[in-house]
Amino acid sequence: MPTANNAIRMTEIVNVRTESPTVKTFTFTDRLCGKAKPGQFVMLWLPGIDEIPLSIMDVNNGLVSVSVKAVGDATRHMHNMEAGTLVGVRGPFGNSFIESRGRVLLVGGGTGTAPLLFLAKQLSAKTERLSFVEGAKTKDELLFVRELDGICSGKNLITTTEDGTAGLQCLVTQPLGELLDKERFDMIYTCGPEVMVKKIFEMTEQRKLPLEASLERLMRCGIGLCGSCVIGKYRVCRDGPVFTAAQLREVADELGISKLGFDGSRIPV
Amino acid sequence: MPTANNAIRMTEIVNVRTESPTVKTFTFTDRLCGKAKPGQFVMLWLPGIDEIPLSIMDVNNGLVSVSVKAVGDATRHMHNMEAGTLVGVRGPFGNSFIESRGRVLLVGGGTGTAPLLFLAKQLSAKTERLSFVEGAKTKDELLFVRELDGICSGKNLITTTEDGTAGLQCLVTQPLGELLDKERFDMIYTCGPEVMVKKIFEMTEQRKLPLEASLERLMRCGIGLCGSCVIGKYRVCRDGPVFTAAQLREVADELGISKLGFDGSRIPV
Amino acid sequence: MESNLLGISFAGLSLENPTILASGILGYTAESLKRVAKGGAGAVVTKSIGASPRAGYPNPTVVQAEAGLLNAMGLPNPGIDVYSEEIKYAKTVLRVPLFVSVFGYSADEYASVASKAVEAGADAVELNVSCPHVKQTGAEIGQSPKFLSEVVEKTKAAVNKPLIVKLSPNVADITVLAQAAIEAGADALTAVNTLKAMAIDTETMMPILSNVKGGLSGPAIKPVALRCVFDIAEQFEVPIIGCGGITDWRDAVEFFLAGASAVEIGTAVADDDEVFRTICRGIETYLRKKHYGSVKEIVGLAHRK
Amino acid sequence: MESNLLGISFAGLSLENPTILASGILGYTAESLKRVAKGGAGAVVTKSIGASPRAGYPNPTVVQAEAGLLNAMGLPNPGIDVYSEEIKYAKTVLRVPLFVSVFGYSADEYASVASKAVEAGADAVELNVSCPHVKQTGAEIGQSPKFLSEVVEKTKAAVNKPLIVKLSPNVADITVLAQAAIEAGADALTAVNTLKAMAIDTETMMPILSNVKGGLSGPAIKPVALRCVFDIAEQFEVPIIGCGGITDWRDAVEFFLAGASAVEIGTAVADDDEVFRTICRGIETYLRKKHYGSVKEIVGLAHRK
Ligand SMILES: Cc1cc2nc3c(=O)[nH]c(=O)nc-3n(C[C@H](O)[C@H](O)[C@H](O)COP(=O)(O)OP(=O)(O)OC[C@H]3O[C@@H](n4cnc5c(N)ncnc54)[C@H](O)[C@@H]3O)c2cc1C
Ligand SMILES: Cc1cc2nc3c(=O)[nH]c(=O)nc-3n(C[C@H](O)[C@H](O)[C@H](O)COP(=O)(O)OP(=O)(O)OC[C@H]3O[C@@H](n4cnc5c(N)ncnc54)[C@H](O)[C@@H]3O)c2cc1C
Ligand SMILES: Cc1cc2nc3c(=O)[nH]c(=O)nc-3n(C[C@H](O)[C@H](O)[C@H](O)COP(=O)(O)O)c2cc1C
Ligand SMILES: Cc1cc2nc3c(=O)[nH]c(=O)nc-3n(C[C@H](O)[C@H](O)[C@H](O)COP(=O)(O)O)c2cc1C
Ligand code: FES
Ligand code: FES
């Protein structure tokens, strides 16, 4: 219902930065999203094209950034956008990662790294140790390596690529298993492709470790009404996108398996 | 448009007091009207009967009082109301008397004395001298004499009755002329029948004295929209009910002469 | 420069700006209309006037809703014979066009009131067709293409000034009524009047308006009014006055983009009688920022594919 | 005690309380419906289901308005064949009646989808008649008494469960449609669906909804919805579900007083999925204070003269 954050604000893209061959970061000003917390997302209206959910990657003095991978019409359109383009913003929506102290581990895959970078920045000063494991297909697609390297002070950043062009040649889950067995973590955060999230959830469950994972589902309203984004009894847009291990347990039969398609039928993730 | 004071609040009459054979005072609780200033009025909804404008006579700790003269259906209905009756309140509406220091004179006729009593209470501590002239047909109809007597410390209260049953036997305007010629006043306030107000306006104009007068007109919306209450270019509900001498000059051709009837045509006052 | 950007010619009348006082708002007296004109309105519409005096309904006649107002005044008006004097006087004090709003219970009555209004000096006539039709109780003339045609035709024949028909939103398809009005000779349309609505007090369990049902105005109805204007502009070339819930320049611009050439403002006048000036300034700034030379250039732009 | 005050029997179904989830709100999956039921709803309505899958319109599909929401989802739904499985599963997990909302492009399609829904376990069928009719493009079935009759008759013949017809407010006189539905065999009516409306962005000069026009819901439409319920209850004995802008117990009570036996809640669920419980508590407190023994006793009381 009428809330300030759900009203569309038109704003200009003030900066576009290329992060990788498939990912660009777009920065715009927005007062409300400027107060967003890591894990929250915006609905970005691309007039005449689409309106899509995007995680907030950074907020800085009223400047808000999102990192977008070109995968279809809307995101490809964004990749052709230049500074000065008008977009509409609703949000911030959803919950956020709960800050943890002690030793924390972040595991990111693909653009899932974006909200975790935002989280890492926020946690870095507050945690005893901050480790980051990032995976990608190939070197060029490893996002934010320099930024993460700075935050994790070198040896706590592990990168993996499937083709071995950088870091370890394996899936992100491989070094993770070793890490989890070797070190004690007070909290693990993850965001990325759902099959990866699911695997990580299984690994933390086995070891009885706490986890917060950010999920993606088809979003329309963004405010918990339309039901497009549900997983089990939860609305990803409103109860999520960040879910705890306990909540993930409740939706284990859907996690990494099925979601609702545009027509509301269950389709494979 | 939507404003808190324009929303109808249902409240119970908590007290009914007889002031005179034709006037009763009704007290109810209302948070918003509890903050009203002298001169402001409420729209009181008598369910199934009517909704009528009434000046606020007193506010005290969230308790709001209006003094009502039985003149027709709605007001007679009110006179039959007991404590416990539900009424609807909108308001407070309109502007208020502007506080003045120094020597002030208040001139009230009939229920017009009600808002002036409210004003007198507020001014008494702040003014150098507070004089009150009140007129009525007969002794029984002189309102709030005891209260005013207390406020004006005896000799500054002059009362007149047409039949001489109390005070001077004359119209209120007679002692007023003498008073205005004899003493210097920094501000004169008046409220009462419009012919009285008009006469007083003429007297203060002759003597180039400042005046604030509260007027009555047919009210429907109470918020400056419907146009029922206009006098000249002014909306009594919104720009008034209190008008300055300068404003009264602008509407001199209507003051005490004509107003709009229920059908919007000009009728004699 | 100011008048260049905002000046329009509407149904043959020239307006300094496209914001107009809606009917029923402070519309009884010449002095009130003059004040509103001084507040920046480009034209003013009178309260709706009928053939004979009507006192209207008892209070409550206005109730607040969530984002608007509900009113059931009951068409109080002094009747055209008395009101003609006010029109004459208004013409001597007003520097903006005066539209007289007219209602009736039959086509002949509409025509006769309208012609008297024009004789008295009305620059244009706006037909308020949202009132019950006697022959078909309960329904509005503005809900029946047949009755509407008849009313518009007869009135058109009786007056030599622009004839504006103000449509009701309480219909299944407003374009059907728009078409009827246009074909019968309307020079322009106003869209829309209020939405039929009501409020009940839970304490007394009673409808609040003395007339039980009334019309909803204000921001609540803006999205509906805008859709009505868009619907009409999609199909017809007729000049349209957008009306319903306009509070700021953005609202006004939405209506221009939807296809309105001018806008009427009602409920928002309660908050601010300089609302016309404020809105005009906003529209101007908008036009300048977007490099348009006239408000006319943005009319209907939301229809571009 | 609680269930005594709020329990109702509606069109032959027994509901623990008279608050119902409106169609289209979280209505795809059994798990979501269950959650809403746990939030206190007395019954739940599914998303509207058609004969075959529909992806709906692209985003934006939801836009905020002044005191409500505009939506144009485009009836996304998996089609009744797939959805029947969800209905079956829902019946195993739900402890409140399940109403399946049905739409179609012809009377036969309505009837066929409805009968499949009932076969799968629907406790009642709600017909969503606010969708375009193929034979008469643009207009809604719910705007034509003739088409509506046909749809209701055919569907009624095809199902042996209560048939609820959800009416559109986008009509000149809702009682005409109510009458058509009742005479064709509707067991109950829901009033109302959304008001046709739109929004335009002034910066890009474009309609915001991808479908240009959509439906207005939420507090903005409450006074209109309430008037619709009052209009119907004034003329007919039929059980009515009030719907439109209900946010708190006061709103719900207004609808009961206007003549509704139950209420559906949509938009307000976004703010609070315990809204049903909160509203039920409020109604109960109200009934106690007023010394009523059941919510049934206040239905229609605003009609007393
Ligand atoms: C909470 C959330 C946060 C996200 N954050 C990011 C991010 O930071 N960076 C990023 O690149 N991507 C992010 N996404 C994914 C992004 O929304 C989709 O990639 C985008 O919508 C695809 O649109 P498209 O038109 O380019 O592709 P399409 O060809 O339309 O679709 C490609 C795939 O994208 C997904 N998708 C399409 N539309 C939507 C929609 N309305 N809602 C959800 N998913 C959709 C579907 O899985 C679809 O199959 C996020 C998604 C969610 C739900
Ligand atoms: C700003 C203002 C403050 C007022 N304060 C008081 C007050 O403190 N005490 C008091 O006793 N009276 C006050 N009045 C007058 C009071 O509103 C009327 O006496 C009352 O409305 C009469 O209603 P009725 O049904 O009893 O009489 P009716 O028989 O309906 O009318 C008698 C006369 O009262 C006036 N009146 C009726 N309805 C209205 C209306 N809606 N608005 C204005 N006048 C109306 C008309 O002059 C009418 O001829 C005030 C009026 C105004 C405008
Ligand atoms: C108090 C009030 C009185 C009205 N009286 C009339 C009237 O006499 N004739 C008419 O055509 N419209 C009348 N209207 C409708 C307005 O002219 C306008 O169409 C409607 O209020 C929508 O515009 P808004 O939202 O800007 O107020 C009235 C509206 C209000 C609020
Ligand atoms: C996002 C959304 C989707 C809707 N989908 C449907 C639908 O599929 N079928 C239907 O009959 N009504 C649908 N509606 C209308 C609602 O059921 C309800 O009639 C309307 O929203 C008014 O109630 P409210 O103000 O409580 O939301 C939808 C409403 C919204 C907001
Ligand atoms: S996107 Fe609509 S409920 Fe989540
Ligand atoms: S009472 Fe309506 S304008 Fe004053």
Q: What is the pLDDT of residues C196-231, one digit of tens each?
A: 999 999 999 999 999 999 999 999 999 999 999 999
- CA nearest to B56, candidates B78, B36, B79, B75: B36
Alpha carbon distances (Å) from B156 to B172, B211, C83, C104 = 14, 19, 49, 59
Alpha carbon distances (Å) from B133 to A24, B113, B149, B196, B208 = 80, 10, 11, 12, 19
Q: What share of chain B is helix, strand, coil (3-state, %, to 5)?
A: 25, 35, 40
Q: How far apart are CA A109 and CA A90, in angstroms?
A: 26
What value does the mean pLDDT take over residues A41-63? 96
The answer to whether residue A30 scores a pLDDT higher than 70 is: yes
The answer to whether D207 and C235 are in contact (CB under 8 A) is: no
**Contact check, Cβ <8 Å, B86/C47:** no
Of A10, A52, A227, the CB nearest to D32: A227
Residue C293: CB atoms within 10 Å: 10
The answer to whether residue D189 scores a pLDDT higher than 70 is: yes
Q: Which residues line ligand 2 (CB under 6 A)?
A: B 41, 50, 52-55, 66-69, 71-75, 111, 114, 216-219, 241; C 59
Tens-place pLDDT, residues A203-257: 999 999 999 999 999 999 999 999 999 999 999 999 999 999 999 999 999 999 9
Instruction: Quote the tokens at residue A203.
Output: 């690994």
Which atom number of ligand 5 is nearest to the Cα of residue A53? 1
Which atom number of ligand 6 is nearest to the Cα of residue B225? 3
Q: What percent of chain D has pLDDT over 90?
A: 91
Distance C245 CA to ligand 6 centre (A): 19
E-strand stretches of A63-216: 63-69, 86-93, 103-109, 129-136, 157-161, 168-169, 187-191, 211-214
Q: Model pTM?
A: 0.96
Q: How far apart are CA D42 and CA D96, in angstroms?
A: 6
Instruction: For ligand 1, pick from A27, A42, A55, A71 the residue to mutate: most ligand atoms within 8 Å of CB.
Output: A71
Higher pLDDT, A44 or A184: A44
Distance A8 CA to ligand 3 centre (A): 29
- Pick from A123-127, A207-211, D294-298: least confident: A123-127
- CA nearest to B97, candidates B138, B127, B65: B127
Per-residue confidence band for D1, with pLDDT thresholds at 50, 70 and 90:
very low
Q: Which residues line ligand 3 (CB under 6 A)?
A: B 221, 225-226; C 22-24, 47-48, 62, 69, 71, 73, 101, 128, 166, 193-194, 217-218, 221, 243-246, 265-268
Q: How far is C181 from chain D (nearest CA, A)?
A: 17
Tens-place pLDDT, residues D257-285: 999 999 999 999 987 889 999 999 999 99
DSSP annotation of A24 reads E
The answer to whether D145 and D176 are in contact (CB under 8 A) is: yes
Which residues partner with D70 through β-bridges? D63, D216
pLDDT score for C216? 97
Structural element, H or E, at residue A258: strand A258-260
| Nearest protein Cα to ligand 1, atom 7 | A54
**Contact check, Cβ <8 Å, D230/C213:** yes
Count Cβ–Cβ pairs < 8 Å, chain B vs chain C: 128
**DSSP strand pairing (D213-217 vs D195-198):** antiparallel
Of A47, A222, A263, the CB nearest to D201: A47
Distance C280 CA to ligand 6 centre (A): 25
- Pick from A16-30, D56-70, D124-138: least confident: D124-138
- CA nearest to A190, candidates A207, A206, A209, A166: A209
Sorted by sequence, the CB contacts under 8 Å of residue A182 that are 6+ apart come out as none
Interface check for B21 against chain C (CB to CB < 8 A): the answer is: no
DSSP annotation of C57 reads P
Between CA D301 and CA D305, with CA D304 as vertex, the angle to 5 degrees is 160
What count of residues does chain B have?
269
Task: Calculate the CA dihedral of residues D249, D253, D254, D257 and round it to 10 degrees.
Answer: 180
pLDDT score for C136? 57
pLDDT score for D135? 61
Instruction: Quote the tokens at residue A215.
Output: 């999920």
The answer to whether residue A40 scores a pLDDT higher than 70 is: yes
Q: How far apart are CA B252 and CA A52, in angstroms?
A: 64
The answer to whether A166 and A139 are in contact (CB under 8 A) is: yes
Per-residue confidence band for D58, with pLDDT thresholds at 50, 70 and 90:
very high
Tens-place pLDDT, residues C57-86: 999 999 999 999 999 999 999 999 999 999
pLDDT score for B150? 87
pLDDT score for C133? 65
- What is the separation of C-alpha C96 from the centre of its chain, rounded to a whole number of angstroms? 16
Q: How far apart are CA A166 and CA A158, in angstroms?
A: 10
The answer to whether B247 and B220 are in contact (CB under 8 A) is: no
- CA nearest to D245, candidates D215, D212, D283: D215
- Which residue segments constitute the domains of chain D, with CATH numbers given? 3-303 (3.20.20.70)
pLDDT score for C131? 75
Tens-place pLDDT, residues A183-209: 999 999 999 999 999 999 999 999 999
Distance D11 CA to ligand 4 centre (A): 21
Mean pLDDT, chain C, rounded, equals 94
The answer to whether C62 and C197 are in contact (CB under 8 A) is: no
**Contact check, Cβ <8 Å, A8/D73:** no
Q: How far apart are CA B102 and CA D207, in angstroms?
A: 62
Residues of B in contact with C27 (CB under 8 A): 227
Mutate to test the interface with A, among D46, D62, D210, D212 (most CBs of A within 10 A): D62
What sign has the CA pseudo-torsion B1, B2, B6, B9? positive
Question: What are the domain boundaries of chain A?
Answer: 4-93, 103-268
The answer to whether residue C135 scores a pLDDT higher than 80 is: no
pLDDT in tens, chain B (269 residues): 567 899 999 999 999 999 999 999 999 999 999 999 999 999 999 999 999 999 999 999 999 999 999 999 999 999 999 999 999 999 999 999 999 988 999 999 999 999 999 999 999 888 888 999 999 999 999 999 989 988 887 678 999 999 999 989 999 999 999 899 999 999 999 999 999 999 999 999 999 999 999 999 999 999 999 999 999 999 999 999 999 999 999 999 999 999 999 999 999 99
The answer to whether C298 and C292 are in contact (CB under 8 A) is: yes
Q: Is B226 in the pocket of ligand 6 (CB under 6 A)?
A: yes
Ligand nearest to the CA of D129: 4
Q: How far apart are CA D117 and CA A18, in angstroms?
A: 51
Distance A165 CA to ligand 1 centre (A): 27
Q: How far apart are CA A241 and CA A217, in angstroms?
A: 9
| Nearest protein Cα to ligand 5, atom 3 | A224
Q: How far apart are CA A266 and CA A245, in angstroms?
A: 23
pLDDT score for C2? 45
Which atom number of ligand 1 is nearest to the Cα of residue A75? 26
The answer to whether D168 and D140 are in contact (CB under 8 A) is: yes
- What is the separation of C-alpha B199 from the centre of its chain, rounded to a whole number of angstroms? 16
The answer to whether residue A181 scores a pLDDT higher than 60 is: yes
**DSSP codes of every residue in D61-121:** -EEEETTEEEE-----B--HHHHHHHHHHHHHH-SS-EEEEE--SSHHHHHHHHHHHHHHT
Alpha carbon distances (Å) from A203 to A106, A134, A197 = 14, 16, 10
Of C47, C64, C269, the CB nearest to B264: C47
Instruction: Quote the tokens at residue A17.
Output: 């930065």
pLDDT score for D139? 67
The three-class DSSP label of residue C161 is coil
**Contact check, Cβ <8 Å, D250/C205:** no
The answer to whether D253 and D16 are in contact (CB under 8 A) is: no
Q: Is B260 in the pocket of ligand 6 (CB under 6 A)?
A: no
E-strand stretches of chain D: 8-10, 13-15, 19-21, 43-45, 62-65, 68-71, 98-102, 124-128, 163-167, 188-191, 195-198, 200-201, 206-207, 213-217, 240-243, 262-265
What sign has the CA pseudo-torsion C155, C159, C160, C163? negative
Alpha carbon distances (Å) from C295 to C7, C188, D295 = 8, 18, 55
Residues of B in contact with C59 (CB under 8 A): 43, 45, 50-52, 220
Per-residue confidence band for D2, with pLDDT thresholds at 50, 70 and 90:
very low
| Nearest protein Cα to ligand 3, atom 23 | C244
Spell out the alpha helix ranges (H) of A141-193: 145-151, 173-182
- CA nearest to B54, candidates B90, B8, B7, B10: B90
The answer to whether residue C273 scores a pLDDT higher than 90 is: no
pLDDT score for C130? 82
What value does the mean pLDDT take over residues C181-188? 97
- Pick from A7-16, B144-153, C278-287: least confident: B144-153
The answer to whether D166 and D128 are in contact (CB under 8 A) is: yes
- Helices C222-235 + C249-258 axis angle, to 10: 30
Q: How far is C246 from chain D (nearest CA, A)?
A: 11
- What is the separation of C-alpha D252 from the centre of its chain, rounded to a whole number of angstroms? 14
Tens-place pLDDT, residues D96-153: 999 999 999 999 999 999 999 999 999 999 999 987 665 655 568 889 999 999 999 9
**Burial track C114-137 (b if 16+ CB lie within 10 A, e otherwise):** bbbbbebbbbbbbbbbbbebeeee
Q: How far is D121 from chain C (nearest CA, A)?
A: 35
Assess whether the previous peptide bond of D60 is cis (omega < 30° from 0): yes
Q: Is D280 annotated in the active site?
A: no
Q: How far apart are CA C110 and CA C181, in angstroms?
A: 14
Count Cβ–Cβ pairs < 8 Å, chain C vs chain D: 134
Mutate to test the interface with B, among C64, C89, C265 (most CBs of B within 10 A): C64
Look up residue C176 and give its amino acid: V
- CA nearest to A138, candidates A174, A110, A117, A116: A110
Q: Which chains touch D (3 or more CB pairs under 8 A)?
A: A, C
Domain A103-268 -> CATH class: alpha beta
Mutate to test the interface with C, among D173, D192, D202, D230 (most CBs of C within 10 A): D202
DSSP annotation of B106 reads E
The answer to whether D188 and D9 are in contact (CB under 8 A) is: no
> For the domain with range A4-93, which CATH number is right: 1.10.357.10, 3.40.50.300, 2.40.30.10, 3.50.50.60?
2.40.30.10
Q: How far apart are CA C259 and CA C237, in angstroms?
A: 9
Which residues partner with D251 through β-bridges? none
Q: How far apart are CA C131 and CA C143, in angstroms?
A: 10
The answer to whether residue A138 scores a pLDDT higher than 50 is: yes
The three-class DSSP label of residue B236 is coil
The three-class DSSP label of residue D250 is helix
